[in-house]
Amino acid sequence: MFGSDLELFRGPVSIGFSFLQSRENHPINNPVNMMADSIDVIHRVNGFRTSIEQGSFSSYIEFSDKNTLLTKSESVQYKSIFKPYNGFSLFGNINYYFTNKFLDGWSLTMEYKNYNTTKLNPSEKDNFVKNYDMNLIFTQPPTVMREHSSVFLARLIPQVNFSDEVGYQISLVGPVKSIGYFTLNYQAASRTNIWGKTFPDSVNALLATEWDGDSSVTLKPYLDKVALPFNELYIEMEGYVNNIRYQLGLGLTKKVPDYHVLYNSGQNNIWDANEDFTDFNNNDTWDSGESFSDKYSIINEKIENKYVSAITLPTLLNYNIGNGWSIDLKYEFQRLKSGTEFFATLSSDEFFEDFDGDGEWDTAEIFDDADGDGIWDAAEETWYDLWQSGLIPDDQLYYYDIDEDGLYSEGEYFTDADGDNQWDAGEILYDQDGDGIWDDAENLDDLNNDGLWSEKGIYLDSTKSNFYVINSKTGLPNSKEFQNNHLISLGVGKSPYWSLSLTIESTSTYEYGPQKKSVTNPLESFMGNIIDLENKWIALELMININSNTRLDLMYGTQRGGIICSNGICRYVEPFDDGFKLALSTVF
């Protein structure tokens, strides 16, 4: 990797130019033998930036253009499958400091990002191996995302995609008399593309569906769920009242973290005007009996997307005792809604074979399956039934009608189908059409797999929550739309040497998925004398500043785990149960 940079200054204005090139050995499948292989890929980034600082106004803008290409030695064999997206990245920042009488001390900050160096469909949004454009970590631009000290709000921050994301952030900050500082922050982001799926009408869409995206450039975030939108409004008030520092916040968050769509299609067995046909009589009109290419024109669309929305109230109180001593009280509340939305439609009525010509799909007739074989059994035929149907001639009746009463009697001949030497009557049949025999359901091309005939339009529009509680009477889970989360932390410290804090986090519901039974540790056993331990995580943490550059953290207890984001990079932290954690941090 190598690069160069040139920056020019004149008064309040600066202008910069940059060039950066890297060579990457990227894993790939060989197109000939499909074995694991690798190729040499070159990334070239040309950049331009400018800034200005003039009085109460300042701004910064940076633009870069990315080009990914193969080396000459690789271009022959892999040229046909090497199709990177060559795009751009744009970042802008504007700061304005108000100086008028009414807004003195207030500031307005606006940030904008348009990172458009790759195009990734929802199924491959995190595929770093297949996509060459997602490995340029050395060009990581600003996140344009507010990062919170609140535990609950931090868990909701999405992973920033530095190759495929458009968004902005607006922040208004200023003093409110002597009460403190007020902050109003709004941020929004999404992927840079609206994706859809295309498929031919000559085969079932389930077998030949591909993602297709609009390659145009968008200047603002999308609201469409396929673009994985995120937005958050955050309001905060912080300040001092005597020796107490306070911080009160309100966050309203919404995001779509995942999106999936599935198509399958079927034929309607009817000639349509756009379908080819064999014109046997050359009259240019399709006539009954002429063969035609029946297209897969009945489209079944199923959409599933995750959703998250939350109201979060973080608070903090810090009391300065004096001489470096302080007491912290932190409380957070969150009302969280999370789950999956399901939406499905049919473009036309499902096709069925209308055997009886009544225009309605008929289900299978119901019968009492006495022997449990799943098949309706008619009564076993007697000699009388066979004589009535002409299979036994009159001159042979004496052989079958032993008692000569003209009717079947016990001990006389019958077709013993099950071989039990007993005549069996027919299973009870609810004969809807009165034909005396059981009728199966009419043949149905059941595209949505619900076992019933469905007409065109929306046939599924529902949500499934991630949360549930256990019914105390039945022991079964009851779904809950919302989850209420609480976190309280009480700490004491001696600045700048050490601090000790006790943290208790609780939730009102369980989440669907594997549940690991928690071990009750001595700390929880002690706290169990004061509070109920159900769905709670308790931890005691000691922090010691060894010197100005080194810090030691020791934690004992349990931690809930979850998503933790820092500088746009998010990771999942596994729940921690009954143990110690020791961390040493040093700044060089």
Q: How many CA atoms lie within 13 A of 563 on its CB side?
A: 15
Q: Let me know: does 342 contact 303? Beta carbons within 8 Å.
A: yes
Q: What integer pLDDT is reported at residue 405 of this predicted model?
A: 81
Q: Hey, how many other C-beta atoms are within 10 angstroms of the C-beta on 363?
A: 15
The single-letter code of the amino acid at 63 is F
Q: What integer pLDDT is reported at residue 545 of this predicted model?
A: 92
- φ/ψ (deg, to 5) at 486: -130, 145
What's the Cα-to-Cα distance from 201 to each of 209, 213, 255, 266, 463, rounded to whole Å?
11, 19, 34, 9, 31
Confidence check: pLDDT of 337 > 90: yes
The rounded radius of gyration (Å) of the Cα atoms in the chain is: 36
| 232 compared with 269, residue with greater pLDDT | 232
Residue 288's pLDDT band, with cuts at 50, 70 and 90, is confident
Least confident span in 93-102, 371-380, 498-507, 541-550 = 371-380
Q: What integer pLDDT is reported at residue 136 of this predicted model?
A: 64
The single-letter code of the amino acid at 33 is N
Q: What is the pLDDT of residues 29-57, one digit of tens each?
A: 776 777 777 778 888 999 999 999 998 99
* Positive or negative torsion for Cα 79, 84, 87, 88: negative
Q: Hey, how many other C-beta atoms are within 10 angstroms of the C-beta on 435?
A: 10
CA dihedral 93, 94, 95, 99 (to 10 degrees): 180
- The alpha carbon of 120 is separated from its chain's Cα centroid by a whole number of angstroms, namely 15
DSSP type of residue 414: B
Q: What is the pLDDT of residues 369-410, one digit of tens each?
A: 666 767 776 777 788 878 888 888 888 887 888 887 878 887
- φ/ψ (deg, to 5) at 579: -175, -175
CA distance 204 to 296: 6
Q: What is the pLDDT of residues 121-134, one digit of tens each?
A: 888 877 766 666 66
* Positive or negative torsion for Cα 512, 514, 517, 523: negative
β-bridge partners, 195: 213
| 74 compared with 562, residue with greater pLDDT | 562
In whole numbers, what is the pLDDT of the chain averaged over residues? 87
CA distance 500 to 509: 29
Confidence check: pLDDT of 435 > 70: no
Domain boundaries, the chain: 1-57+65-84, 487-586
Element (H, E) at 77: helix 72-78
CA distance 281 to 18: 73
Mean pLDDT computed over 88-110: 93
CA dihedral 550, 556, 560, 565 (to 10 degrees): 0
DSSP type of residue 183: E
Confidence check: pLDDT of 334 > 60: yes
pTM over 0.85: no
Mean pLDDT computed over 110-139: 78
What's the Cα-to-Cα distance from 66 to each of 74, 81, 190, 226, 542, rounded to whole Å?
20, 19, 21, 25, 47
Q: What is the pLDDT of residues 58-83, one digit of tens each?
A: 999 999 998 888 877 666 677 777 77
Q: Which of 260, 264, 262, 345 is nearest to 297 (CA)?
A: 264
* Positive or negative torsion for Cα 496, 500, 504, 505: positive
Q: What is the pLDDT of residues 148-177, one digit of tens each?
A: 989 999 999 988 888 889 999 999 999 998
Q: Which of 65, 79, 49, 190 is nearest to 117 (CA)?
A: 65
Q: Let me know: does 344 contact 299? Beta carbons within 8 Å.
A: no
Q: Let me know: does 554 contact 580? Beta carbons within 8 Å.
A: yes
Confidence check: pLDDT of 462 > 70: yes
- φ/ψ (deg, to 5) at 408: -70, 135
